[in-house]
Structure 1
Amino acid sequence: MPLEKPYAGVPGTTIFDADQSRKGYWLNQFCMSLMKAENRERFKKDERAYLDEWKMTEEQKQAVLARDLNRCIALGGNIYFLAKIGATDGKSFQQMAGSMTGMTEEAYREMMIGGGRPSTWTDKKEEGK
């Protein structure tokens, strides 16, 4: 019997739970491998060959190659592990987050300084009280 997931309805949000962890295990292991300089160099030299050493799905590999971090998250990636890809590419976490929202780094920074995006999910939950 599957567990009830009351958090599953948060718009635009993928919660990294046990199911996501299992789905993204090899994707996240690949990301963690990038903590070693020699692995980053091997990855940069031939990304596809390096990815093929991991038991990731083809869809996960394609998402990494495209640097589609939103897709990586949907496929089980954890943002803290995925940050290793950004670091390998010389990008800051802020640059990565901006790209995931379709915003420039500056626009993303200003949004976060201003308090972030409002949560319509929270608003709807509050209305039900």
Structure 2
Amino acid sequence: MEEPYEDIPGTYVFDAQRSRQGYHLNMFCMSLRDAANREAFKADEAAYLDRFPMTPEQRTAVLQREWNEMLRLGGNIYYTSKLAATDGLTFQDLASIMTHMGRDAYREMMVTGGRSIEGNRSKAEWKNHG
């Protein structure tokens, strides 16, 4: 059964089901808190990922830096931001990438109160924009 909040466009709610789904993905991301692990990952990303029994989809999302896909597959934004930081991205950089906005445009949107709820209540509303 799909939860009602799955209809929120542009995001994935990190609930208990996603927590279970993304456990190994998130443990990989948290491992990057350690400098030695960051260096090992940078030296051979694919080999380092072999330490974590992620799904093939999760592994691909990490290797291709598909940030929104990582969230869909159970990643927690606070954990996946460890990977972004390993790549030299700030949280603001990451958010702008994930929202398909330039960094300055994303910052301006947030400073002026965030994204309007108008047109963003339901995925059905987004279907009418394309």
TM-score range, shorter chain: 0.7 to 0.9
Residue 13 of structure 1 and its aligned partner are, at CA, apart by: 2.1
Residue 106 of structure 1 and its aligned partner are, at CA, apart by: 1.1
The aligned counterpart of 1:93 is 91
In the aligned structure 1, how far is the partner of 2:69 from the partner of 2:20?
16
Residue 52 of structure 1 and its aligned partner are, at CA, apart by: 1.3
Residue 94 of structure 1 and its aligned partner are, at CA, apart by: 0.2
Q: CA RMSD, aligned part only?
A: 1.4
The AA in structure 1 aligned to 2:58 is Q
1:65 equivalenced with 2:68 (yes/no): no
The aligned counterpart of 2:121 is 121
The aligned counterpart of 2:24 is 26
The AA in structure 1 aligned to 2:73 is L
Other structure's SS at 1:54 match: coil
Task: Give deviations 1:49-79, integer Å, cap 9, x for gaps.
Answer: 0011111011101101111110000000000
Following TM superposition, where does structure 1 have runs of at least 4 consecutive aligned residues deviating by more than 3 angstroms? none
Q: What are structure 2's unaligned runs of at least 5 residues?
A: 123-130
The AA in structure 2 aligned to 1:70 is N
Which is further off, 73-82 or 6-15? 6-15
In the aligned structure 2, how far is the partner of 1:20 from the partner of 1:41?
28
Other structure's SS at 2:121 match: helix
In the aligned structure 2, how far is the partner of 1:101 from the partner of 1:37?
29
Residue 102 of structure 1 and its aligned partner are, at CA, apart by: 1.0
The aligned counterpart of 2:47 is 49
The aligned counterpart of 2:8 is 10
Other structure's SS at 1:121 match: coil
Q: TM-score, normalised by structure 2?
A: 0.87
Q: What are structure 1's unaligned runs of at least 5 residues?
A: 123-129
Kindly, what percent of the aligned residue pairs are identical?
56
In the aligned structure 2, how far is the partner of 1:45 from the partner of 1:68?
20
The aligned counterpart of 2:35 is 37
Q: TM-score, normalised by structure 1?
A: 0.88
Residue of structure 2 aligned with 1:102, choices 79, 82, 100: 100
Task: Give the number of aligned pairs.
Answer: 120
Residue 11 of structure 1 and its aligned partner are, at CA, apart by: 1.9
For the pair shown, which has the larger CA radius of gyration, 1 or 2? Answer: 1
In the aligned structure 2, how far is the partner of 1:96 from the partner of 1:9?
23
